Amino acid sequence: MRKLALGQMNRFVSLEPKVLKGNKPNAVHDMRVASRRLQQLLDLLYPAPPKEIRRLRRRIKSCRRALSEVRNCDAQLKRAQKSLASKRRSSRETWEAIGKYLAERRSETFGKALRKLGKLNLAVAYVSLKERLEGNGAPRAEDGEDGTRSQLLPSSREYASESFHGRFRAALGKVWQAYEAQAGKSRRDADTSALHGVRIAAKRVRYLVEVIREFDVAGSAEVLTWLRKLQQHLGDWHDLEVLEQMLLEMVARPKFLRNHLDIAIRVEKLVLRNRTAKKRYVEKYFRMTLDSAESRYLKEWVGDLLSARSPAARAARDPADDRT
């Protein structure tokens, strides 16, 4: 586990110089993903984190938030560039205006993100965590956030212990309960906040399952494949949601509306088409999660782990078998 955390911390910090260059959209995305994976590993290593780890988690989360708007701009700029391939002059004119607005917004947002990243001093956090994880012998126990003693990092001999697997079960139970709650909420009212809640909850399940897969738990690879598909689908929906918000903010500017009324009208028509596309994404989300073979397999797999039953008996069965 320590090796996984060190590897993820190395990747997280190594991406910062690429992000700072300003012209590496993939680096921004990858650093945000690395931050989630690192945070998940720290949560497993320190269920009752000492002060130093709590401080590090806050820095990791702040980094991800600082880059959130930059990533949103990058995703929409990519969409604009793709749409500019259209041969229709009116469409090109509209997307050129959108692209210009997004580029200006990205530049402004990136400047703010740089200032926030500069205050986080990730290099110091990196050295501190590396010393803690690479230190000779087991780290000392310290007072956790709730006043309890933080648990020591598991050694390789502890990987097969009941306490170690209990830690995984506790973490899985927590994220699964949150996912089930958000999914249930979305079925009652599929509004933006509910779907966003499912998207975040599914991410947390996915990143925990990634760690579980590293320990060759039966069925984890199949579960992870489906979770990635679900996350990609909800991510595509979210990008359309962000695009709509940005377009509405674009045409709401008085000067733009006054000088480019024709483009503003076409942008509003684009928003309406965008809403139709979002509905299709929501419909597919329900097909994926309500009673598909993959969602049933996920639920049973999680149930096996939480009840401490070995999922080995399920390993030889593909989720597709449930369809027969």
What three-state secondary structure class fits 253?
Answer: coil
What pLDDT, on the 0 to 100 scale, is given for residue 74?
97
Please report whether residue 316 resides in a domain. no
- Across 10-47, b (16+ Cβ under 10 Å) vs e yields ebbbebbeebeebebbebbbbbbbbbbbbbbbbbbbbe
| Domain, as residue range, for 2 | 1-135
- Using the predicted structure, report yes or no on whether residue 323 has a pLDDT greater than 70: no
Domain boundary (91, 118, 135) is at: 135
- Are 184 and 121 contained in the same domain? no
- Across 104-121, b (16+ Cβ under 10 Å) vs e yields ebbeebbeebeeebeebe
Q: Which residue has the higher pLDDT, 164 or 223?
A: 223
Average the pLDDT over each of 13-17, 74-78, 270-274, 318-322 and give the range with the smallest value.
318-322
Average pLDDT, the chain: 87
- Are 196 and 77 contained in the same domain? no
Hey, how many other C-beta atoms are within 10 angstroms of the C-beta on 127?
11
- Are 5 and 85 contained in the same domain? yes
For the stretch 41-96, pLDDT in tens is 999 988 888 898 999 999 999 999 999 999 999 999 999 999 988 767 778 999 99
- Band (156; pLDDT cuts 50, 70, 90): very low
- Are 111 and 228 contained in the same domain? no
- Band (150; pLDDT cuts 50, 70, 90): very low
Domain boundary (135, 152, 175) is at: 135
Please report whether residue 4 resides in a domain. yes
Mean pLDDT of the 192-210 span: 96
- Are 292 and 185 contained in the same domain? yes
Please report whether residue 322 resides in a domain. no
For the stretch 250-294, pLDDT in tens is 999 999 999 999 999 999 999 999 999 999 999 999 999 998 999
- Band (126; pLDDT cuts 50, 70, 90): confident
- Are 170 and 299 contained in the same domain? yes
Q: What is the CA radius of gyration of the chain?
A: 22
| Percent over 70 (pLDDT), the chain | 85
Question: In this structure, what DSSP letter does residue 109 have?
Answer: H
What pLDDT, on the 0 to 100 scale, is given for residue 159?
42
Cα–Cα distance list, 305 to 173, 207, 212, 301, 315 (Å): 9, 16, 11, 7, 13
- Three-state SS letters, 272-306: HHHHHHHHHHHHHHHHHHCCCHHHHHHHHHHHHHH
- Using the predicted structure, report yes or no on whether residue 25 has a pLDDT greater than 70: yes
- Are 59 and 131 contained in the same domain? yes
Please report whether residue 320 resides in a domain. no
- Are 121 and 168 contained in the same domain? no
- Please measure the distance between the N-terminal and C-terminal CA atoms of the chain and give it in whole angstroms: 39
For the stretch 205-254, pLDDT in tens is 999 999 999 988 899 999 999 999 999 999 999 999 999 999 999 999 99
d(C-alpha 290, C-alpha 50), whole Å? 40
- Are 17 and 120 contained in the same domain? yes
What pLDDT, on the 0 to 100 scale, is given for residue 128?
86
- Band (309; pLDDT cuts 50, 70, 90): low
What pLDDT, on the 0 to 100 scale, is given for residue 299?
96
Please report whether residue 23 resides in a domain. yes
Please report whether residue 154 resides in a domain. no
Number of domains in the chain: 2
What pLDDT, on the 0 to 100 scale, is given for residue 239?
97
CB 100 within 8 A of CB 76: no
List Cβ neighbours of 58 (8 Å cut-off, separation of 6 or more). none
Please report whether residue 147 resides in a domain. no
CB 210 within 8 A of CB 37: yes
Mean pLDDT of the 164-181 span: 91
- Are 183 and 234 contained in the same domain? yes
Please report whether residue 140 resides in a domain. no
- Are 15 and 95 contained in the same domain? yes
What pLDDT, on the 0 to 100 scale, is given for residue 149?
44
- Are 264 and 205 contained in the same domain? yes
